[in-house]
Amino acid sequence: MVDSNNKEFRKRDFFYVVPLWLLSLIVPDADDLYSYRSKEFKGRELFYLAAVLVLPLVWRDPHFHHLMVLAGINAILALGLSLFLGYAGQISLGHAAFFGIGAYTTAILTTRYAFPTFGAFWASAFTAALAAYLIGKPILKLKGFFLALATLGFGEMFLVIIRESTDLTGGVIGIFNIPWFSIAGFSFDTYLKQYYLTWGVLLGLFLYSKNLVRSKMGRAFLSVAASEEAAFTVGIKVAQIKIGVFVLGAAFAGFAGSLFACIMSTANADAFGLNLSVLLVMMVIVGGMGNLYGPIFGSILLTWLIDILGKYQEWSLSIYGVILIILLIFFPDGIGTRLGMRLIYLIGYWAKKKRRDEGKL
């Protein structure tokens, strides 16, 4: 990519080819989206995968494991939201409600009806998707701010319903003693096992989305984001695509909610408020919209940030607000995207300057 125009290969090109290659392992590749490439795993993906698999074995701190479990759950949520927000270009401020629906479905099914957790896991995703279909049918004809507002209204109404229907959801107290997640008698009862569970689910959903955005439907998402009128003109069923991606994001949130309920063993209305919805949107923005690594990166970063801020007690939320604003001002199109471009520019500039100093240019 760097020196495809040059026939000869100079030794000093290593100075910027090697850093660029290292960078390409870490920084998501924006070109990926628009080019048809082979579906095989590339170096970067294998690097990520190895890091995710090996890291908890190397770093044997339970707090780290727990944090990464939370980051994984947030990443599943952010991945679903990024399909809706980053690919289809619609704004949602009520995504936490679907997370809540998933968590409460699992909680109610496992504690009241002694449902197996694996069955409840799928039931949660189904319930969340159904709710998204019913709510999305009327409100997805709105655009921009008004869609954001409508989804926000839905999220707040969900909270009110959860708090008030005491018989079903336990009201403000919530539901306790949800069993650990288990498949065929194997119970995920330690942080390490939960880590592999969460990141395994995330990996599955990630591969699914990766194939989805390359499919006909994924292209349709992008065209809807670019211009609904143009998409409509070329024969894309805009309403159907929008509701499809909304339902899909909600199903992802349902999976995440089910995992969250099983891992935390409680379901409480406070966890599913507007703050979480805003945080999820932040994860997608900070990671960079329009690529699939972005939301995962963003959710890891922000989950860690919140954990670190927890040390500052009462100051934490004020600092959090300031950091949100600073991130948005300086990295409005994502840390990865902006930083990657900046670094590539710097390395290129440095190499060119060196050549110019030697009088060869």
- Contacts of range 33-40, beta carbons closer than 8 Å, 24 or more positions apart: 33/213, 33/222, 33/290, 33/291, 36/214, 39/211, 39/214
- 39's enclosing H/E stretch is none
Q: Between 56 and 95, how does the x/- string for binding to other proteins read (CB under 8 A)?
A: -----------------------------x-----x----
For other proteins, give the closer residue by CB, 202 or 305: 305
Note the Cα 210 to chain centre separation in Å.
13
For other proteins, give the closer residue by CB, 13 or 156: 156
CA distance 153 to 268: 19
Tokens of 45: 């993906």
**259: burial class by Cβ within 10 Å (0-12, 13-18, 19+)?**
buried
End-to-end CA distance of the chain: 20
State yes or no: residue 325 binds other proteins (CB under 8 A). Answer: yes
Residue 203 has a CB neighbour count (10 Å cut-off) of 16
For other proteins, give the closer residue by CB, 176 or 315: 315
Q: Between 125 and 154, how does the x/- string for binding to other proteins read (CB under 8 A)?
A: -------------xx-xxxxxx-xxx-xxx
> Out of 324, 339, 343, 347, which residue is the one contacting other proteins (CB under 8 A)?
324
Total binding residues toward other proteins, as defined by CB under 8 A = 40
Residues for the chain: how many in total?
A: 361
For other proteins, give the closer residue by CB, 139 or 192: 139
> Out of 50, 318, 341, 345, which residue is the one contacting other proteins (CB under 8 A)?
318
Tokens of 57: 């074995």
State yes or no: residue 312 binds other proteins (CB under 8 A). Answer: no
Amino acid at 335: I
Q: Judged by CB under 8 A, which stretch of 15-23, 61-69, 201-209, 271-279 contacts other proteins?
A: 271-279
To which residue do tokens 């390359």 refer? 214
Residues of span 101-130 touching other proteins by CB under 8 A: none
State yes or no: residue 208 binds other proteins (CB under 8 A). Answer: no
Closest by alpha carbon to 269, among 355, 192, 160?
A: 160
Query: Which residues of this protein are in contact with other proteins, per CB under 8 A?
Result: 85, 91, 138-139, 141-146, 148-150, 152-154, 156-157, 160-161, 163-164, 274-275, 278, 281-282, 285, 314-315, 317-318, 320-322, 324-325, 328-329, 332
